[in-house]
Structure formats: C-alpha cells, structure tokens
Amino acid sequence: MSKIYELIPLTDLDRTAQLRVLNIRNEEFIREWMFTEGVISEAEHLAWIERLKADQSQICLVIVDEHTCPFGAVNLKKIDKRHKSAELGFYKTRNINEKGLMAKSLAALIDYSFDTLGLEKIYTEVFDGNLKSLNIHKMLLFTEEGFLRSHIVNGEKRIGLRLFGLLKNEWQKGKGRINIRNDITIHPIKRINGECDTIDGKDGV
Ligand SMILES: CC(C)(COP(=O)(O)OP(=O)(O)OC[C@H]1O[C@@H](n2cnc3c(N)ncnc32)[C@H](O)[C@@H]1OP(=O)(O)O)[C@@H](O)C(=O)NCCC(=O)NCCS
C-alpha cells in the first residue's frame, strides 16, 4: 500500500512539530553537511521561523506523515524574482528508513518551483564528499556546473563545494524517465501563503 506524505510549511506546523524539526536539524550527521555547523538553539530556531513568515525569498516545507510527524524538510532560499532562480536545500532524519522519500519530496518541490512559482533554475552547493546528496542530484537530473576548490572550513579541515544546477526545460523533458519509488505518495503542495504568487506576480498557474 502506498505511504502518504505531505509537504507543509514549517510556519504552519504546531509548536511541538516545529521543535521536532529543530531536533532533526541538530542531528549530528545532518549538521556535518550543512553550513550551520553548531547546535541550533530553540531560540534561534523559533526566531528563524518568525523571519520565515515575512520573508518571501525563502520557503521551508516539512515532510510529514499522516500524523503530521516531521521526517525532514525541503527548502528554497534566495528566491530571486528577477532571475527566476533559487537555491535548494534539504535534510532527512536518520530515524526513518523510507528510501526514496527525499528524492520524491524534492521532485514535488521542483515541480512546484517550475510550474507554480515560475522559476527557471534551481541550484545547490554540495560539500565535497557528500555522496548521498550527490546521488540524489544525479537521480534528479541536476548537472554539475563547477567545483569551488578548498572553499570552506568544515570541522577541522578545508573542503571544496560542488555546484549543481537544474533548468526548467531539462526537468520537464526528463522527469518522466526518473525511477523514484511509486509506493510513496506526496500530496501536491498547497498554495503557500504570501509566497504563492508566481514570479511574474500573477496568480498561480
Ligand atoms: C541527503 C539526504 C537527504 C539523502 O537522504 P536519503 O535517505 O539518501 O534519500 P532518499 O530518501 O531519496 O533515499 C535514497 C535511497 O533510496 C534509494 N532509492 C531511491 N529511489 C529508489 C527506487 N526507485 N527504488 C529503490 N530504492 C530507491 C536510493 O538508492 C538510496 O539508497 P541508499 O540509502 O542505500 O543509498 C540525507 O542523507 C541527509 O539528510 N543528509 C544530511 C543533510 C544533507 O546532506 N543535505 C543535502 C545538502 S546539499
């Protein structure tokens, strides 16, 4: 039987679920691959949620099951209306063994970004060595566009950043051929308050 998940704005979740998302953000194996390396405090997390409510350049959607229990998040940052682009970010708790859930959630967000928000390009910066992330990018048709050598400090060492990009036409042409598990259903993303306008300022497509 198909398992059903939904992508809900972090700002719409109740406080308990929002704090569960904080616990996920603070999982050691997630922090290892994120730009915010230290443990995030509850105050910092809640202040970020407050900022999200008013910030049209960011969207954070939490992956939840039918009990609204969070398992991870997919987000867009730096949404740029002029250039119709945004940076993608994502993380998934280690406490769920649902293979393909992240790939499927990202596919839903990519569809929403191109079809509803009107973006033309999505890009990411991936820490060198992040094989799980690399695999997902390949599966989802991203192209590796560059490598920034020895670019950031990660823990005790300097590492490089891999740059990935995906264009709307590449996605639309190739997405039908992607083999993501079809026993996982992600509900279509509901219109997001304040952020649901398309980039052109028109109502959703
Ligand atoms: C990156 C991250 C989200 C990937 O999570 P994930 O569990 O690998 O992602 P998915 O849910 O898509 O599952 C992928 C797995 O499902 C498998 N899978 C995907 N589609 C499948 C299919 N159609 N049939 C069978 N298996 C499938 C993949 O082979 C992979 O298996 P593996 O775990 O044995 O390698 C997770 O590792 C994470 O949160 N990392 C830390 C944060 C991070 O790096 N974020 C990205 C920053 S750029």
Per residue in 174-191, pLDDT tens? Answer: 999 998 877 899 987 886
| pTM, rounded to two decimals | 0.93
| DSSP tag of 141 | T
Atom of ligand 1 nearest to the CA of 130: 44
Residue 189 identity (one-letter amino acid): I
Those residues whose C-beta lies under 8 Å from the C-beta of residue 50, and which sit 6 or more positions away, are none
56 CA to centre of ligand 1 in angstroms: 28
User: Number of helices (H) and strands (E), helices first, in the chain?
Assistant: 6, 8
In the sheet that holds 184-186, the strands lie side by side as 143-154, 157-167, 121-127, 85-92, 70-80, 59-64, 3-9, 184-186
pLDDT at 204 (0 to 100): 29
pLDDT digits over 32-53, tens only?
999 887 899 999 999 999 999 9
182 lines ligand 1 (CB under 6 A): no
Task: Give the distance (Å) from ligand 1 centre to CA of residue 10.
Answer: 21
For the record, the structure tokens of 202 come out as 């028109």
Mention every residue, 6+ apart, whose C-beta is less than 8 A from residue 54. none
Q: Check if the beta carbon of residue 85 is closer than 8 Å to that of residue 73.
A: no
For residue 52, give both structure tokens.
């999200």
Specify the CATH class of 3-186 in words. Answer: alpha beta
Residue 203 has pLDDT above 70, yes or no: no
Any idea where the domains of the chain sit in the sequence? 3-186
CA 180 to ligand 1: nearest atom: 23
Task: Find out whether the beta carbon of 130 lies less than 6 Å from any atom of ligand 1.
Answer: yes
CB of 85 within 6 A of ligand 1: the answer is: no
Q: Is 92 in the pocket of ligand 1 (CB under 6 A)?
A: yes
Contact 17, 10 (CB under 8 A): no
Sign of torsion, CA 49 55 56 58? negative
Confidence label for 76 from pLDDT (cuts 50, 70 and 90): very high
Report residue 129 as tokens: 């060595």
